[in-house]
Amino acid sequence: MAPPNYFEEEIFLPAKAWFIILSLIAALLLNLLPLQGYMLTLRPDFIALVLLYWNLNHRVDMGVAFGMGLLMDVGNSNMLGQHALAYCVMIFISLLLRRRLYIFGLLKQAPQVGLMLLVAQSVTLLTELLNRADFPGWYFFLASVTGAFLWPVLSILLRVSHSQKYDQNAL
C-alpha cells in the first residue's frame, strides 16, 4: 500500500487581514524605492503582483486595487488615477481568468500573470502618452517579464501565511 500524499490533501485557510494589509504596504514600499538605471527598468510592479495573488485567493477586489493605485500615484507624483485605472483593468482580467489560473501550477501561471502585468503597464503607458509624454522605449515593458519570473517566488512567500489544515479523512 502506498503512503498517503499529504500535499494533495491540504486545505489552505484564508490569510489574516493584517497579513494582507502588511503585504500590500511592503509592496508599496518596494515600488517606491528610489532606484536608477537598469534596476529601475527591471523592477516589477510589486503592488500589481501582490494584488494579483490576493485576488486569485479571493481576498482582494477592485476597490482595494483602486485604493492602492491612488496611493501609488500619490507616491510617484503621477497623474491621479493612472495606476488606479491600470490596476482595476488588471484585476478585471484576472477575475475573468480566475478559475483558469487557479487550476494551473505556479510555473504555468507565470506567463499569464506576465500578460496581465503587460496589460497594466500598457494602460499606464497609454495614459502617459495621452498626457503628451514621450514614448519611453520598448525596455519599459521589461518589468512585466521580471514580474512573471518573480511570480512563483512571490506566490510561495505569500502562501506561507496561510494556515495549513490536513484532511483527516484522507488518512
Q: What's the pLDDT score for residue 10?
A: 55
Q: What's the pLDDT score for residue 6?
A: 43
Q: What's the pLDDT score for residue 48?
A: 97
Place of cell 490576493: 54
Closest to 86 (Cα-Cα) out of 56, 131, 48: 48
Mean pLDDT of 18-26: 93
Do the bridges between strand 10-12 and strand 164-166 make them parallel or antiparallel, or are there none, so unpaired? antiparallel
Helix H or strand E encompassing 140: none
Report pLDDT digits (tens) over 77-104: 888 999 999 999 999 999 999 888 888 8
The domain locations on the chain are: 43-161
Report pLDDT digits (tens) over 128-152: 889 888 888 888 899 999 999 999 9
For the chain, the helix, strand and coil percentages under 3-state DSSP, each to the nearest 5: 70, 5, 30
Mean pLDDT of 38-63: 91
Instruction: Calculate the alpha carbon distances from 127 to 26, 115, 120, 124, 166 in Å.
Output: 26, 18, 11, 5, 47
Q: What's the pLDDT score for residue 167?
A: 54
Q: What's the pLDDT score for residue 54?
A: 93
